Amino acid sequence: MQPIISISHLSKNYGDKTVLNNINLEIFPGQIIGYIGPNGAGKSTTVKILTGIIQDYSGDVIVAGMNLKDNVLEVKKLIGYIPELAELYDLLTPREYLNFIGKLYQLPDDVIEERASRMLDSFGLLSNIDQRMDSFSKGMRQKVLITSGLLHNPSIVILDEPLSGLDANAVILVKELLQVLKQEGKTIFYCSHMMDVVEKVSDRIVLIDKGNIVTNATIEELRSNSGDSLEKIFSRLTSSGDQSQKADEFASAFSNKSSRE
């Protein structure tokens, strides 16, 4: 099987700061990749490169056999991108907004209407389809955002903290949805700090730190030595010290005793 995404010697600098350092990664159709790392590790930069937002980088990114630099618009047609923040047109209704998104992907009107209605209904938002979104909660906005990212039935789905603001039932729905999309052969690139969710849904875990891939393995392979949860493995591989001790030190700030004692 050929990889649907092939990243070779990918590097990105901002001035003298190296954000990505010679990243090499292959992702295959039907895989869910959990892409994790501490703040500033390079996750968001990777996502922005894959989605064509950042085009000034060194190395090669091949998506579905196309070089990303030379075929940005064609690659974007294959990708559904769901960022953390739902930056929507607040004065539009979900129906109006999703109609606008669907037309960008040249979908027929009847297909847009059917998909939007069915997807919003799954999220419990069908009754709000003609309500202006400036009155929506963060969770409601996130549901519209997820719908907009999947509306054109992309073969690659890139999610960056997609569960932000969602209630417990919606989180369960999204986790189940990821499995359905995987079974349909879609490729999922999932960035999140929620280790328990990443651990449950991902086929492979790619851990990045300081612009370098620290590990690329299945959760079973990661656990083979210690048996720890992904959260503890993450902490061990990326932390400069014992997190329990740091928590005690932090809490000691509320103590009446001087830290010098």
Q: How far apart are CA 63 and CA 229, in angstroms?
A: 32
> For the residues 55-72, what does the mean pLDDT come to?
95
What are the tens digits of pLDDT across the range 100-154? 999 999 999 999 999 999 999 999 999 999 999 999 999 999 999 999 999 999 9
The share of the chain scoring above pLDDT 90, in percent, equals: 64
Domain ranges of the chain: 5-241
| pLDDT of 160 above 80 | yes
Q: How far apart are CA 215 and CA 237, in angstroms?
A: 9
Most distant CA pair in the chain, distance: 72
What are the tens digits of pLDDT across the range 3-50? 999 999 999 999 999 999 999 999 999 999 999 988 888 999 999 999
CATH 3.40.50.300, domain 5-241, yes or no: yes
- pLDDT, residue 181, reads 92
Residue 5 C-beta-side C-alpha neighbours within 13 Å: 28
Q: How far apart are CA 107 and CA 115, in angstroms?
A: 10
> For the residues 193-202, what does the mean pLDDT come to?
86
